[in-house]
């Protein structure tokens, strides 16, 4: 092959065509024919040619999947038509009731077909395609769902998802029967393997792991650095084909305007055009057949490699869909059948105790390992002694374990048939701390047991992790492994609960008498660099590079993060002190009312009580905290380190004065913190519990008992657009 300038355009075109073909085989069809090395070679050839002929580089080239980052975050773009959600059915009866409603709304002579599709557990995206050269089409832009009306333009990140075609040739369009302009909607998911890899990386970097693949995918798509998005594998499964040529406000009112007369035909066309669609969809005519599909699909969900949380059933005919229309937020022509949470029965082998920042002992169930939904579960949280009593669970019992969308499973009940087989043991809280061997006490009227030793190493590591966490000092890079090294443990020594658990010799026995001589905590094997949070501010680069696996780049960025935390506002400093009962809200109330740490420290209990939102228990714990000399020494030390001890004057609006809001579920665009801040800066309050005094409950996806409570108490419920509306009026 010659590399003359004349043949370059042709060579480039051929290479691109080949690469697109192989990307489709690999990322969409899962049928690669090239080895990775062969594929890389093609990419390198193309890169080399494009480097020689920069004028021939186009944004659709496979080399351009990772382009520039968006300049000022993501811009907001209106959707062609609203992106709605789906109503749910949780059992056969609800599904049949939906089908009856559908049938009775249509002409009796109509024949009905349903399309069954996997309900992928990720986030929805809207992709807009428009004319490209030679009669083909290309990706113009991609939007998140946002509030359903307006989404965020995440095009630069969408382009990095290799199962999304950047260009589609005229020939393929023709084969698929598609015009040059259309809109595709579908679900962006993170495969389980990519999710596990991401969490391992986060753990190494000292960042809290993502709770589930959905959150990880949503976080990734909103990352402003496309090269990071490209490193994590995201996939896209198309489930809707819309006619963007006909889009407009009137169409929005009338509902989606489909390109093809049937959903099943749309899925076929999308596949033919090179998209990944649900791997298993089925068009059927009766609800019995729908139920059969559901029964077949459920056992498959563990083998897919990505999460599905149910089956979406759609009326196949788009004419019928139009006739059925929409209720407030969901189409009448579709329903999501949700799978029950995945669970299994296994035996409780032992209970381990984790010591938290406040010295609280949290019981963790050690289970006979059992696979649930593709993950081997060996641990479950037991929360506290009350939960153990409620469950009536004993060591040796067989228990039902449930795993929701999240990683940490829970025990839901003791399996009665097998309950209390011979030889089961009661769960006894240890009388000595499993980490430092100091006394463990349970104060009157308190639920929890606590280690009394304020200098317990378990406490210090938790304190440091709390101090560094998001929402407190936000020190990125100060995670478990860094903390344990700063405390003087080499990397391979068991220091976290996870480590202790995995070290068979170090399992914390529940019976203190038996475990007295056991070596449960790792002894520091080198000098501790950090004894209090203030010590963080005295760390130097040479301290850090002496640790295992810390280079000067890591050291410098951690030091920069620590330095940045000196400017954190007063309420975060207060949070960082880790005073019991002082959460985000209380810390802000204290900072707002008293204006400085000195005034809070010297306030009497009565004065504290007078402050907004401070009750007698909180007032007394704050007072007790500052009465302890060691804590006052720490505060003085932090003052010397240059932390913010006075509050910036907060400008608070009055629009929401006197109103109390409760947030529940996941809002489409705002994080909990953002929603809270918006409400508070309008003068409103955010509370954690719904009561008759609650003015509004703001409910997002998967809102639970708080939403039910609101409905019982007739408290008005807002969704995110409703809240934003209220804020803007
Ligand atoms: S159709 C009019 N099909 O589920 C709304 N949605 O709970 C139509 N989802 O926001 C959505 N798989 O993000 C549809 N096969 C599928 C789906 C699916 C997952 C998501 C989607 C939607 C949410 C609603």
- Closest C-alpha residue for ligand 1 atom 10: 85
Q: Is the pLDDT of residue 576 over 80?
A: yes
Which phi and psi angles does 686 have, rounded to 5°?
-120, 125
What distances in angstroms separate CA 218 from CA 145, 162, 496, 632, one per listed residue?
Answer: 11, 17, 29, 42
Residues with CB under 6 A from ligand 1: 84-86, 117, 119-120, 124, 187, 239, 278, 312, 331, 334, 336
Exposed (0-12), middle (13-18) or buried (19+): which is 190, by Cβ within 10 Å?
buried
Ligand 1 center from residue 282 Cα (angstroms): 16
Residue among 79, 84, 86, 334 to mutate when testing ligand 1 (max atoms within 8 A of CB): 86
What DSSP letter does each residue of 108-167 carry, written as one string? TT----EEEEEEESSEEEEEEEEE-GGG-EEEEEEEE-TTSSEEEB-HHHHTT-TTS-SE
| Per-residue pLDDT tens over the stretch 229-287 | 888 889 999 999 998 755 444 433 334 477 899 999 999 999 999 999 988 899 999 99
> pLDDT value at position 204?
63
In the chain, what percentage of residues exceed pLDDT 70?
A: 89
Lowest mean pLDDT among 67-76, 220-229, 473-482: 67-76
What is d(CA 120, CA 514) in angstroms, rounded to the nearest whole number?
Answer: 49
Beta bridge partners of 364: 352, 381
What is d(CA 458, CA 149) in angstroms, rounded to the nearest whole number?
Answer: 48
What is d(CA 341, CA 347) in angstroms, rounded to the nearest whole number?
Answer: 19
**Interval 73-87 mean pLDDT:** 87
**Interval 152-171 mean pLDDT:** 94
- Closest C-alpha residue for ligand 1 atom 13: 124
> pLDDT value at position 19?
92
At 4, the pLDDT band (50, 70, 90 cuts) reads low
What is d(CA 36, CA 586) in angstroms, rounded to the nearest whole number?
Answer: 54
> pLDDT value at position 206?
55
**Interval 107-130 mean pLDDT:** 92
Torsion over CA: 139, 141, 146, 152 (sign): positive
Structure tokens at 283: 């068009």
Q: Is the pLDDT of residue 508 over 80?
A: no
Residue among 187, 242, 281, 318 to mutate when testing ligand 1 (max atoms within 8 A of CB): 187
In the chain, what percentage of residues exceed pLDDT 90?
A: 45
Ligand 1 center from residue 186 Cα (angstroms): 7
- Closest C-alpha residue for ligand 1 atom 16: 119
| Per-residue pLDDT tens over the stretch 17-49 | 999 999 888 888 878 888 888 888 999 999 999
| Per-residue pLDDT tens over the stretch 374-421 | 678 888 989 899 999 999 999 999 999 998 766 678 899 999 765 566
- Closest C-alpha residue for ligand 1 atom 21: 124
Percent composition of the chain: helix, strand, coil (DSSP 3-state, to 5): 40, 20, 40
> pLDDT value at position 251?
38
Q: Where are the alpha helices (DSSP H) in 510-615?
A: 512-515, 541-545, 552-564, 570-577, 584-594, 597-602, 605-610
Closest listed residue to residue 588, CA positions, set 677, 713, 484, 470: 677
Q: Is the pLDDT of residue 160 over 60?
A: yes
Residue among 118, 336, 668, 703 to mutate when testing ligand 1 (max atoms within 8 A of CB): 336
> pLDDT value at position 499?
37
> pLDDT value at position 615?
87
> pLDDT value at position 245?
57
> pLDDT value at position 407?
67
**CB distance 660 to 691 below 8 Å:** no
Cβ neighbours for 117, distance < 8 A, ≥ 6 positions apart:
239, 267, 278, 281, 311, 312, 313, 314
DSSP SS3 for 528: coil
Beta bridge partners of 77: 151
> pLDDT value at position 327?
84
Ligand 1 center from residue 465 Cα (angstroms): 37
Give the residue carrying structure tokens 């308190």.
446
- Structural domains present in the chain: 3-64 (1.10.287.610), 88-338 (3.30.470.30), 341-564 (no CATH), 568-640 (1.10.150.20), 660-728 (3.40.50.10190)
**CB distance 530 to 539 below 8 Å:** yes
Q: Is the pLDDT of residue 695 over 50?
A: yes
> pLDDT value at position 374?
67
| Ligand 1 atom closest to residue 124's alpha carbon, by position in its atom list | 13
What is the number of alpha carbons within 13 Å of residue 521 lying toward its C-beta?
22
| Ligand 1 atom closest to residue 701's alpha carbon, by position in its atom list | 7
The whole-angstrom distance between residue 114's C-alpha and the CA centroid of its chain comes to 32
Which residue in 69, 119, 271, 303 is the catalytic one?
Answer: 119
Q: Is the pLDDT of residue 514 over 50?
A: no
Q: Between helices 8-23 and 36-52, what is the axis angle to 10°?
A: 150
**Interval 103-131 mean pLDDT:** 92
**CB distance 369 to 378 below 8 Å:** yes
Q: Is the pLDDT of residue 509 over 60?
A: no
What is d(CA 144, CA 124) in angstroms, rounded to the nearest whole number?
Answer: 6
What distances in angstroms separate CA 718 from CA 233, 454, 714, one per listed residue?
Answer: 35, 44, 12
Which phi and psi angles does 635 have, rounded to 5°?
-60, -45
> pLDDT value at position 2?
47
Active site residue 692: no
Structure tokens at 400: 């039902």
Q: Is the pLDDT of residue 59 over 90?
A: no
Ligand 1 center from residue 117 Cα (angstroms): 10
Ligand 1 center from residue 694 Cα (angstroms): 32
Cβ neighbours for 41, distance < 8 A, ≥ 6 positions apart:
none
Give the residue carrying structure tokens 């832009």.
141
**pLDDT, mean over the chain:** 85
**Interval 295-319 mean pLDDT:** 92
Ligand 1 center from residue 634 Cα (angstroms): 52
Statement: the pTM of the whole predicted model exceeds 0.75: no
At 544, the pLDDT band (50, 70, 90 cuts) reads very high
């Amino acid at each position: 092959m010659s590399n003359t300038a004349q043949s370059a355009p042709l060579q480039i075109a051929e290479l691109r065509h080949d690469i697109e073909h192989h990307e489709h085989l690999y990322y969409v069809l899962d049928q690669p024919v090239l080895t990775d090395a062969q594929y890389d070679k093609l990419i390198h050839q193309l890169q080399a040619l494009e480097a020689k002929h920069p004028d021939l580089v186009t944004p659709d080239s496979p080399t351009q999947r990772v382009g520039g980052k968006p300049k000022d975050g993501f811009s907001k773009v209106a959707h062609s038509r609203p992106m709605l959600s789906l109503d749910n059915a949780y059992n056969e009866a609800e599904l049949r009731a939906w089908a009856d409603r559908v049938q009775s709304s249509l002409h009796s002579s109509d024949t009905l077909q349903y399309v069954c599709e996997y309900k992928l557990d990720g986030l929805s995206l809207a992709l807009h395609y428009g004319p490209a050269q030679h009669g083909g089409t290309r990706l113009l832009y991609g939007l998140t769902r946002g509030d359903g009306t307006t989404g965020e333009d995440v095009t630069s990140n969408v382009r990095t998802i290799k199962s999304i075609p950047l260009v589609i040739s005229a020939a393929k369009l023709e084969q698929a029967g598609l015009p040059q302009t259309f809109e595709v909607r579908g679900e962006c998911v993170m495969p389980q393997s990519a999710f596990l890899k991401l969490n391992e990386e986060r753990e190494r970097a000292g960042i809290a792991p993502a709770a589930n693949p959905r959150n990880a995918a949503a976080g990734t798509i909103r990352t402003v650095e496309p090269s990071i998005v490209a490193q994590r594998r995201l996939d896209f499964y198309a489930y809707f084909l819309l006619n963007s040529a006909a889009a407009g406000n009137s169409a929005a009112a009338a509902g989606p305007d489909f390109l093809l007369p049937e959903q099943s035909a749309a899925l076929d066309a999308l596949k033919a055009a090179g998209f990944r669609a649900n791997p298993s969809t089925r068009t059927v005519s009766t609800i019995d057949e729908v139920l059969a599909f559901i029964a077949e699909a459920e056992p498959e969900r563990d083998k897919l490699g990505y999460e599905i949380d149910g089956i979406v059933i759609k009326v196949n005919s788009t004419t019928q869909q139009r006739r059925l229309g929409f209720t407030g937020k969901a189409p009448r022509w579709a329903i999501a059948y949700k799978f029950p949470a995945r669970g299994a029965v296994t035996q409780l082998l032992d209970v381990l105790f984790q010591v938290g920042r406040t010295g609280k002992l949290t019981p963790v169930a050690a289970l006979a390992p059992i696979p649930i939904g593709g993950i081997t579960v060996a641990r479950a949280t037991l929360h506290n002694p009350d939960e153990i009593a409620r469950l009536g669970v004993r060591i040796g019992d067989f228990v039902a374990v449930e795993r929701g969308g999240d990683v940490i499973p829970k025990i839901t009940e003791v399996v009665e048939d097998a309950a209390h087989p011979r030889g089961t043991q009661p769960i006894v809280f240890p009388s000595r701390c499993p980490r430092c061997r100091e006394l463990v006490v349970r104060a009157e009227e308190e639920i929890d047991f606590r280690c009394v030793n304020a200098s317990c190493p378990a406490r210090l590591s938790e304190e440091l992790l709390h101090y560094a966490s998001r929402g407190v000092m936000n020190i990125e890079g100060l995670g478990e492994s860094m903390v344990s090294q700063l405390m003087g443990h080499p990397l391979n020594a068991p220091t976290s609960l996870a480590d202790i658990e995995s070290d068979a010799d170090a399992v914390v026995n529940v019976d203190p008498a038996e475990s007295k001589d056991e070596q449960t905590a790792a002894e520091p094997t080198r000098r501790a660099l950090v004894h209090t949070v203030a010590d963080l501010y005295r760390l130097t680069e040479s301290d850090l590079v002496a640790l295992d696996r810390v280079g000067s780049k890591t050291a410098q960025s951690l030091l920069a993060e620590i330095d940045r935390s000196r400017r954190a506002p007063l309420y975060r400093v207060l949070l960082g002190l880790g005073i019991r009962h002082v959460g985000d809200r209380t810390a802000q109330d204290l900072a707002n009312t008293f204006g400085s740490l000195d005034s809070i420290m010297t306030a009497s209990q009565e004065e504290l009580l007078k402050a907004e939102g401070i009750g007698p228990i909180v007032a007394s714990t704050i007072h007790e905290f500052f009465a302890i000399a060691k804590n006052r020494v720490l505060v003085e030390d932090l003052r010397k380190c240059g932390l913010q001890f006075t509050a910036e004057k907060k400008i608070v609006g009055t629009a929401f004065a006197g109103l109390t809001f409760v947030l529940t579920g996941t809002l489409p665009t705002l994080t909990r913190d953002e929603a809270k801040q918006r409400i508070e800066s309008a003068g409103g309050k955010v509370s954690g519990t719904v009561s008759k005094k609650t003015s509004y409950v703001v409910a997002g996806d998967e809102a639970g008992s708080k939403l039910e409570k609101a409905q019982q108490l007739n408290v008005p419920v807002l969704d995110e657009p409703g809240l934003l509306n209220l804020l803007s009026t």
